[in-house]
Structure 1
């Protein structure tokens, strides 16, 4: 094969791996029955007029599966952290004891589990779309090599077959991650 096709395939594979990583990261932000620090990554707090990520303003501890202790580093930010947690999409009402905030995650209802499953499927589809987009770009690059007569048509066809195999492989990885997340969500 020409020098160009292995480079195109290598680049496509790196991008597909990145798409899978991003999809898995997105899955980790979806709440299941257990508390995790990933659930709090998207929460920003109004700290002296600047939106600041929660994890930069407070420490998080998980003494129990559905309980989180949020301890702000600056006690003056306590009410802002409390407001940010209350207004987040976690559906929680933190309890302020003066030194820290206790957040108890409500048990997931069947309806909420189904909503989260739909959300997981949407995120998985976004991952598959990114993988297919990478495939499309790599295919165009290979077609350009054939058009510019840098490689023969047979080499181009072989390269596309390898690209299709990569696309299938990484799409299946996303599907497996989705299946695992759905299983986690539906386990009561």
Structure 2
């Protein structure tokens, strides 16, 4: 990642925002007791020899709180989609009528809820590591800019302090996302 010292904080914030968005999208794929298209839309299907995301070859809807319906635009893809869903680790067996696939979402057991909460915590920790790496790269860029004469020593100290504050703000945001996801998972 190439960082410009003149707008260092802006580019760091942009990278941190992307990390937050990535965590939010991975949280949406973690199954709760409700049906959500995000649960399966990233499943990769072998479609005419090409790995394709499910959402690109089928409509995914949740007509009921505990049911997902997958309607392929090409009915010849039904068996390939079924095979991909079985191979993915979502833990739900699809029911096919030849034209559509239905995924009944079972009630989560307490053990499964705890395992999913642990998975969410792990993904949050990975996002925090990514934020710390962004912070480290920003600190290195600021120190290099000071060496090159772009920043004075006082400006460097202020920049390092601002980078730390930005990192702390995003880590707090990630912790809030995790707390909300854990609450959602543990609510029966």
| Pair 1:9 & 2:2 matched | no
Asked whether the equivalents of residues 42 and 55 of structure 2 are also in contact (C-alpha less than 8 Å), the reply is no
2:50 aligned residue: 50
2:123 aligned residue: 123
Alpha-carbon distance in 1 for matches of 2:108, 2:6:
48
Higher mean displacement: 78-87 or 170-179: 78-87
Q: Normalised by the size of structure 2, how large is the TM-score?
A: 0.92
* Secondary structure of the corresponding residue to residue 42 of structure 2: coil
Greater RCO structure (CA 8 Å; 6+ sep) = 1
Instruction: State the Cα deviation string for residues 107-139 of structure 1 (Å, max 9, x = none).
Output: 111111111111111111111111111111111
Alpha-carbon distance in 2 for matches of 1:150, 1:74:
58
Alpha-carbon distance in 2 for matches of 1:9, 1:51:
38
Alpha-carbon distance in 1 for matches of 2:169, 2:132:
12
1:139 aligned residue: 139
Alpha-carbon distance in 1 for matches of 2:171, 2:160:
16
Count residues in correspondence: 185
1:69 aligned residue: 69
Alpha-carbon distance in 1 for matches of 2:15, 2:108:
35
Structure 2's unaligned 5+ residue stretches are none
Q: Normalised by the size of structure 1, how large is the TM-score?
A: 0.92
1:59 aligned residue: 59
Higher mean displacement: 139-148 or 175-184: 139-148
Correspondences of 1:99-118 after superposition (within 5 Å): 99-118=99-118
Asked whether the equivalents of residues 46 and 52 of structure 2 are also in contact (C-alpha less than 8 Å), the reply is yes
How far did 1:35 drift?
1.2
2:89 aligned residue: 89
* Secondary structure of the corresponding residue to residue 83 of structure 1: helix
How far did 1:5 drift?
5.0
Alpha-carbon distance in 2 for matches of 1:147, 1:56:
49
How far did 1:49 drift?
2.2
Asked whether the equivalents of residues 5 and 159 of structure 1 are also in contact (C-alpha less than 8 Å), the reply is no
Q: Which runs of 4 or more aligned residues in structure 1 lie more than 4 Å from their structure 2 counterparts after TM superposition?
A: none
| Pair 1:35 & 2:35 matched | yes
CA RMSD between the two structures: 1.5
How far did 1:6 drift?
5.1
Instruction: State the Cα deviation string for residues 54-80 of structure 1 (Å, max 9, x = none).
Output: 112221121111101112222222222
